Amino acid sequence: MKSEKEKMIAGELYDASDPQLHADRTKAKKLLHRLNVTEYLVTDSAREVLKELIPNTAGRLYIEPPFHCDYGYNIFCGNQVYFNVNCVVLDICPVRIGNNVMFGPAAQIYAATHPLDKVHRRSEEYGKPVVIGDDCWIGGGAIICPGVTIGSGSVVAAGAVVTKDVPENVLVAGNPARVVRELA
């Protein structure tokens, strides 16, 4: 039988009130408090907090506080990933971010979602993984919805709401986001 954590990471319906998940969120919140309040400046001490909060990082990760996430351990970053201020990552499922990816202020990634059925929604939730390819730029205030893949080299315009997969090397904008043009 799977644990609630295993079900959560697999994108299955799970009970978010599970004690292990509660403890994991509490740990993340304590680390986020250190990053966002105690440290605030990007120092060696703040980098140590980031290593503990987001251990699945392949290279340089730069986060400008404040930053928010659910767990941290479901965020997988390549090398040279930059988050500007006020970014949010709801990482109940894996969020995979490639190399050389930049996020503008208040960009949001949602791997978390909820059942449409009101009875299930009262006690269960689930997620869908998000993938962002190499060399992407996610503009300020953009929202990446659950289950979306953004192809390498693409740009998401500020304020865009991405509800469907984005091909490689395109600019998307709007709500819902649509391809505006191809990029070289």
For 97-112, the pLDDT digits (tens) are 999 999 999 999 999 9
pLDDT > 80? residue 18: yes
Q: Is the pLDDT of residue 27 over 90?
A: yes
- E strand residue ranges, the chain: 61-63, 67-69, 75-77, 81-83, 87-90, 95-97, 101-103, 108-110, 112-113, 126-127, 130-132, 137-138, 143-144, 149-150, 155-156, 161-162, 170-173, 178-182
Mean pLDDT confidence for 131-159 = 98
pLDDT value for 184: 82
pLDDT at 110: 98
Q: Residue 159 above 80 pLDDT?
A: yes
Report the alpha-carbon distance of residue 161 to residue 134 in Å, rounded. Answer: 20
Is 68 among the catalytic positions?
Answer: no
Task: Give me 141's structure tokens.
Answer: 């205030």
**pLDDT the model gives residue 80:** 97
Q: How far apart are CA 107 and CA 109, in angstroms?
A: 7
pLDDT at 44 over 90: no
User: What is the model's pLDDT at position 42?
Assistant: 77
- Name the active-site residue from 22, 33, 68, 114: 114
For residues 144 and 129, the answer to whether their CB atoms sit within 8 Å is: no
Mean pLDDT of 48-63: 94
pTM: 0.95
User: What is the average pLDDT value for the chain, to the nearest integer?
Assistant: 96
Please classify residue 160 by burial: count the beta carbons closer than 10 Å to its beta carbon, then call 0-12 exposed, 13-18 middle and 19+ buried: buried
